[in-house]
Structure 1
């Protein structure tokens, strides 16, 4: 787990990154800039219960590709979730919170994940654990209106004009960040047999 100092604002950006691409980097950069974060943890997960393991590249390869792509020193590529032994996201975040009570965290997710977010294990616990920033992705702009998470926690939505203070807020609190979008997707890159190579 990366080192952080007391009072830091840290974004948690998890995913399979299979492979990582410029769209992921754009989400990370937007989150760093718009949320005023000190660090962003690029958390490469060992696996995803909602996706097939057969198409998952080795963890070491995904870490290496992510490190090559994410050059900003504020972005810390990590795979500490592997040491937790097959944890769900909610368990990983609870572990992060317990180990770092002196820091402020924001969960970062692409809007394309919002539609299926209610299928995640303990998704309500995730929303109640840390503030969440949902970053716009192509074809998912309206997901913040139609997703179950957005409807259930509509009362906790923070106006985009106030997102610079999101990391200071008590969860549940979430916002939708509009901005530049990349059409790249890991699914399309895998279908074309491509990966972002060092």
Structure 2
């Protein structure tokens, strides 16, 4: 199978993530999209992150029974901070029967050359890119291993959702009902 890997902190997972993942699964040659829950993104502050198992559980609830989507905790057992190339290599070794592609937002192309071993990512993996607003074209936009995928631009951020929760405002329609219930019951982000 060809698996698209959608990395993120998913803090929390929201409908924008789900729409993008489903679009990638249905509009590319990927058989499935796996959400890779990152314990700690080396480019983000650690302080506001929920525990990785809580974020994993929210993703599992959000995707429900969609056979095109899955979630993996593969990075939980890898050295931290986790780097994409290390996770890709580990997954390729663990699942040699699968072919993996990296899913990323177009904004990541502007600083892709700063990623650890970005050249190895390009050598061994395809990159599926979803559009982001106001991104200048880069040398990566025309790279043979990079494919721009027609996907909706959903401008929802987990930061916006966390702020709404902190202000005791509704997050209905921003996350799935199952995720909203978990957030409320466990009093996340308060």
TM-score strictly above 0.5: yes
User: What is the TM-score of this pair, normalised by structure 2?
Assistant: 0.79
Q: Secondary structure at the match of 1:114?
A: helix
Instruction: State the distance in 2 between where 1:128 and 1:121 align.
Output: 13
Q: Secondary structure at the match of 1:189?
A: helix
8 Å Cα contact 1:108-1:132 kept in structure 2 = yes
Q: CA RMSD in A?
A: 2.0
1:154 to 101, 118, 142: 142
Q: Give the Å deviation of 1:153.
A: 6.8
**Residue of structure 2 equivalent to 1:81:** 75
CA distance in 2, matches of 1:100, 1:47: 23
Distance 1:104 1:34 in 2: 17
Unaligned runs of 5+ in 2: 182-190
Of residues 163, 181, 188, the one that matches 1:191 is 163
Q: For residue 67 of structure 1, what is the aligned residue in structure 2?
A: 60
2-side partners of 1:64 and 1:20: how far apart?
Answer: 10
Question: Structure 1 residue 25 and structure 2 residue 18: aligned?
Answer: yes
Paired position in structure 1 for 2:8: 15
Q: CA deviation at 1:176?
A: 0.8
- The separation in 2 between residues aligned to 1:56 and 1:83, in whole angstroms, is 17
In the aligned structure 1, how far is the partner of 2:58 from the partner of 2:42? 22
The corresponding residue for 2:185 is none
- The count of residues paired between Structure 1 and Structure 2 equals 168
CA contact (8 A) 1:26 1:181 kept: no
Whole-Å Cα distance in 1 between the matches of residues 110 and 141 of structure 2? 14
For structure 1, the residue ranges without an aligned partner over 5 or more in a row are 1-7, 157-172
Structure 1 equivalent of residue 96 of structure 2: 101
